[in-house]
A and B are shown apart, each in its own frame.
Chain A
Amino acid sequence: MTVILGQTFTGVSIGAVLLLIALGLSLTFGQMNVINMAHGEFIMAGAYTTYVLQKSVSDAGLSLLVALPVAFLVAGALGALLEWLLIRRLYLRPLDTLLVTWGVSLMLQQLARDVFGAPNVQTRAPELLTGHITVVGGADPLTFANSRLFILTLAVAAVVALSLTLRLTPLGRRIRGVVQNRDLAEVSGISTERVDRTAFFIGSGLAGVAGVALTLVGPIGPTMGTNIIIDAFLVIVVGGIGRLRGTVIVAFVLGIMQSVLEYSTTVSVAKVLVLVAIVAFLQWRPQGLYTLRTRSLV
């Protein structure tokens, strides 16, 4: 029983990380249909921001709190810059966007290598987050690491914030309007260009927040983005384009699957099995878990 609970919680915390890194993509890829391979490097930027801040602000807890908004701004600014420089020229060529942003991601990785060095670096977690909560005591205890709980809370908070922004604010309405009918939005007086850039700013900013969270569970390095970006894209593909709900559910389901399969096999076999499951799932629902059904030809 403790094993099942423990694996489930591990799965949920893997899912929370997945959710955080995929959340920004659900805006840029899910809503705007831009495949930004440099999203992983925006996560990296958020992580390095945390690292830099911790060097200047000695208190680990304070620096982490400061890092959240700063990383959001740093990654968001990078995203808006990328949108302005390259992506806006490529809105009708999604596959070319993928490769162009891959080129950007290579350059950002090398930049990180030149600035921070090739080896991974670490941050200190604040004391509050190094402990754990004991849920079941006794000989076979079940404990939850505080850092994992923090990530879970952060992920949930980010989802709520994004969802409320999209639903309630004028900006959110404009974003949804542009997504649903670009031409109509344009003639209704919405500056689609500005909306695109703002949406990209927010989506990329969320990557920065994810980067802050990742510093709590692993090392910071130039290639950290590459390793997670594919998983994040798979979450969106399986969850269904344009649906936040799908992203949330799939992130946790994949996280739990990964953790349970890891327990019964090995990490690498589990990864392969999860991928097989995804291909099988797409046989059943090629458009993902939640779909917007339309009558368009595509």
Chain B
Amino acid sequence: MTEPTSAPGKGNPLKRAVPAGRSARAAAGFAAAALALFALAPLALSDFRLGLLAKYLCTAMVAVGICLAWGRGGLLTLGQGVFFGLGGYAMAMHLKIADAGPGNLPDFMQLYGTATELPWWWRPFANPLFTIAATVLLPMAVAAVLGSFVFRRRVRGAYFAILSQALAAALAIWLIGQQATTGGTNGLTDIRGFFGYDLDDPVNQRMVYFVIAAALLLLVALARQLIHSRYGELLVAVRDSEERVRFLGYDPANVKLVAYVVAAGMAGLAGALFVPAVGIISPAMIGIVPSIEFVIGAAVGGRASLAGAVLGAIGVAWARTALSEEFPGAWTYFQGLLFIVALAFLPGGLASLAGVVKRRRTARPTGEPAPALPLGEAA
């Protein structure tokens, strides 16, 4: 311990607290990612593979939100499927109405033959602008209402996780029960058009891929800004010691609410873009199981590291396709093993491995402090 009144050192150490190298490195990483997504992948991959990548990128968008809420805010949200589903269903409803054409009912409603006109809560989704806004705002609104209830009463940790999981289960059950208006277990299928573009045309499928890639980069940039802002520091403080933050005059409920609502919006956008990429949304994609699967990518890659969470989500989704193509049963074992290994033995995810390597390499005194501490200063 130094003397309490010691003068600041010569090379004013306070300057070091606002690192400049970090943003340069991040910009380089961002440019590399953009190059890979917009140039390399479309050139190297077949239309089919590119379509799959579009799907993976959607899960990565959810993972960006999870990185923020769970990695940074400690909110293990096992109900991201709810927000993914809200965004997805909102988009799918519009596309179904548009596919059916003016005055007609979506095909599945005609099939069940119960409804003679659109249910009232379908009607606003005929409007494309309303739909686009709703895909993001609707999940955010639901998250805001739920979060303000739950966080204010200090329901947290495992309780929050279980409650969010129950929410996912409830929404899936409800959707299945409303066969006539939601398509029930089948969900909303056979989506052909996307705002007037025919999705059977590979060129338009590529366009959807580019939209998704751009959206992912946008979300990453947004999350990065949040993480490195003062709010992001406060969020970590809330995660580590909620009560202490309270004694500093902040209401932790509001801090958590922002992260939760932003994560919900990201999942909603992901769901909305998933629909044109895959052509279907169903309860099987939003219940307990898919909701918890959204978490695994972030956990494997590194929950607190944006790059880790995104790459982890893409990697896990890819492994899933690759493995279940070859050996269907093996995937489930592998996935279970991933959960166990990633969380029991490597809680910082793969990003923490990179951090260890980096720290070893930059042991020189002049070096930038290693940024990839798994739960702390990850870029």
Direct interface between A and B, CB < 8 A: yes
Seen from chain A, the residues whose Cβ lies within 8 Å of a Cβ on chain B are: 35, 86, 89-90, 93-96, 98-100, 102-107, 109-110, 113-114, 226, 230, 233-234, 237, 266-269, 271-272, 275, 278-279, 282-283, 286, 297-298
Q: Is the CB of A103 within 8 A of B178?
A: no
Q: Which of B154, B289, B332 contacts A286 (CB 8 A)?
A: B154
The stretch among B57-65, B166-174, B314-322 that forms the contact with chain A is B166-174
Distance in angstroms between the alpha carbons of A102 and B150 in the assembled complex = 24
Q: Which residues of B contact A268 (CB under 8 A)?
A: 173-174, 176-178
Q: Which residues of A contact B296 (CB under 8 A)?
A: 99
**Identity of the chain A residue whose Cβ is nearest the Cβ of B345 in the assembled complex:** A89
Q: How many A-B residue pairs have CB under 8 A?
A: 116
Given the known interface contacts A99-B299, A282-B150, the answer about A230 and B166 at a Cβ–Cβ threshold of 8 Å is: yes
Given the known interface contacts A272-B174, A283-B153, the answer about A100 and B344 at a Cβ–Cβ threshold of 8 Å is: yes
Q: Which of A99, A272, A298 contacts B343 (CB 8 A)?
A: A99
Q: Is the CB of B329 within 8 A of A103?
A: no
Q: Which residues of B contact A275 (CB under 8 A)?
A: 166-167, 170
Shortest Cβ distance from residue A1 to the other chain B in the assembled complex, whole angstroms:
29
Distance in angstroms between the alpha carbons of A150 and B309 in the assembled complex = 49
Q: Is the CB of A103 within 8 A of B337?
A: yes
Seen from chain B, the residues whose Cβ lies within 8 Å of a Cβ on chain A are: 74, 76, 146, 149-150, 153-155, 157-159, 161-163, 165-167, 169-171, 173-174, 176-178, 243, 288-289, 292, 295-296, 299, 329, 332-333, 335-340, 343-344, 347
Q: Is the CB of A230 within 8 A of B162?
A: yes
Given the known interface contacts A102-B339, A107-B333, the answer about A89 and B344 at a Cβ–Cβ threshold of 8 Å is: yes
Q: Which residues of B contact A272 (CB under 8 A)?
A: 170-171, 173-174
Q: Which of A113, A269, A298 contacts B243 (CB 8 A)?
A: A298
Q: Is the CB of A234 within 8 A of B344?
A: no
Q: Which of B153, B167, B178, B243 contacts A282 (CB 8 A)?
A: B153
30 contacts between A and B (CB under 8 A): A90-B344, A95-B161, A96-B347, A99-B76, A99-B299, A100-B344, A103-B338, A103-B339, A104-B336, A104-B339, A104-B340, A105-B336, A106-B335, A110-B336, A114-B329, A226-B288, A234-B162, A237-B159, A266-B177, A267-B177, A268-B173, A269-B174, A269-B177, A271-B174, A272-B170, A272-B173, A278-B166, A279-B150, A282-B155, A298-B243
Q: Which residues of A contact B288 (CB under 8 A)?
A: 226, 230
The 8 lowest CB-CB distance pairs between A and B, nearest first, are A103-B339, A268-B177, A107-B336, A106-B336, A110-B332, A286-B153, A103-B336, A103-B340
Q: Which residues of B contact A100 (CB under 8 A)?
A: 339-340, 343-344
Q: Which residues of A contact B166 (CB under 8 A)?
A: 230, 233-234, 275, 278
Q: Is the CB of A99 within 8 A of B295?
A: yes
Q: Which residues of B contact A234 (CB under 8 A)?
A: 162-163, 166
Q: Is the CB of A95 within 8 A of B158?
A: yes
Q: Which residues of A contact B162 (CB under 8 A)?
A: 35, 230, 233-234, 237
Q: Which residues of B contact A105 (CB under 8 A)?
A: 336
Q: Which residues of A contact B178 (CB under 8 A)?
A: 268
Given the known interface contacts A230-B166, A266-B177, A268-B173, the answer about A297 and B243 at a Cβ–Cβ threshold of 8 Å is: yes
Q: Which of B174, B339, B343 contacts A106 (CB 8 A)?
A: B339
**Identity of the chain B residue whose Cβ is nearest the Cβ of A265 in the assembled complex:** B177
Shortest Cβ distance from residue B253 to the other chain A in the assembled complex, whole angstroms:
12
Q: Which residues of A contact B289 (CB under 8 A)?
A: 226
Shortest Cβ distance from residue A225 to the other chain B in the assembled complex, whole angstroms:
11
Q: Besides the contacts A99-B343, A104-B336, A106-B336, what 7 more A-B pairs have beta carbons closer than 8 Å?
A: A95-B76, A107-B333, A233-B166, A267-B173, A269-B177, A275-B170, A279-B146
Pick from B146, B295, B336 the residue with the most CB of A within 10 Å: B336
